[in-house]
Amino acid sequence: MTFFKNKLTVIIIVLSVSFLILIGYNFKKEKIGAAENGVGVTLNSVQGVVYNFNSKIKNSINFFVNYSDVKKENEKLRTDNIQLKDKAIKFDALQKENKRLRKMLNFKDQKSEYEYLGCDIIGKSGNDWLEGFVINRGSNDGIKKRMVVITGEGLVGQVTSVGSNWAIVQSLVNENIAVAGLVNSTDENDGIVKGYRDSNDKLLAKLYYLPLDSKIKNEDTILTSGLGGLYPKGISIGTVIDIEEDKGKLVKNALIQPSVDFNKLQELFVVIPKEQREVKY
């Protein structure tokens, strides 16, 4: 390749010198002959073609020489891009986790008479979340049956079985769970909340046994009332989305959208009273 480049350079030099000699020779003449002019034009054209060809050869050589560096740079940029995307995903997850934990911290500050033990879900106790799930805390951690489980968004359910390092939690949407409810806008605490599955198999809850003259309305917030001593007062249960009147029983029932999305449960907290009491029914 070097020999080829040198040969082209020699040709260009020879043609250039020849053209300069012709110019010097004709400088003494008043006019340049047609033949001489033709030779000059021809030499000029050949020189231009050879120069352009040589430039293309040099550019091609530079391309192949730099190709490896460009490839390495592209691979580095691709790797950097993947790393940046990964960092962005992790940052978004941390932001969401921080938001959830802040909600939990606010609740904890308001309810300082309780301890809150963090735990993770490690499996289901049945075919779906309606039947409950297993957490990675148990009697070794002070967990007992009927203890309440919450998130920063609201009520999840209660502990129904306990092992040494595990426990089963039944969720609010299970019909076996009953919670004394409080209508936040009216302070009525006569109702009982139970799990409810609608005709579309959507997991909801329902507040039963409010008086017929209750002022409850759509979009009211339902909280735990604290009656019975099992559930701390003021935990969010959900929002009213429909109201039914049972004039035969002289009561109102309210359909509730739970505050917690049971398909997106992550950090859970078991509520442990600092002064535990045995509550019998």
In a shared domain, residues 219 and 238:
yes
Written as six digits, the tokens of 261 are: 């999305």
The residue from 85, 110, 135 where one domain ends is 110
In a shared domain, residues 221 and 133:
yes
The residue from 110, 137, 161 where one domain ends is 110
What is the predicted pLDDT for the residue at 27? Answer: 47
Average pLDDT, consecutive stretches of 10 residues, N- to C-terminus, the chain (281 residues): 52 60 52 47 49 56 62 72 62 54 58 80 78 90 92 90 94 88 91 89 90 93 87 91 88 94 85 66 32
Side chain identity, residue 176:
N
Check residue 78 and report its DSSP letter: H
**Count of C-beta atoms within a 10 Å radius of residue 107:** 22
In a shared domain, residues 129 and 174:
yes
Tell the residue number behind the tokens 């967990």, with chain if given: 143
Report the chain's C-alpha Rg in angstroms. Answer: 42
Are 135 and 178 in contact by the 8 Å Cβ rule? The answer is no
Check residue 126 and report its DSSP letter: S
- CA atoms of 52 and 185, how far apart (whole Å): 87
Global pTM reads: 0.61
Written as six digits, the tokens of 14 are: 């020879």
What is the predicted pLDDT for the residue at 202? Answer: 85
What is the predicted pLDDT for the residue at 60? Answer: 58
Domain ranges, residue 60: 1-110
In a shared domain, residues 125 and 242:
yes
- Domains of the chain: total: 2
Are 157 and 171 in contact by the 8 Å Cβ rule? The answer is yes
Q: What is the DSSP string of 12-72?
A: HHHHHHHHHHHHHHHHTSSS--HHHHHHHHHHHHHHHHHHHHHHHHHHHHHHHHHHHHHHH
In a shared domain, residues 89 and 124:
no
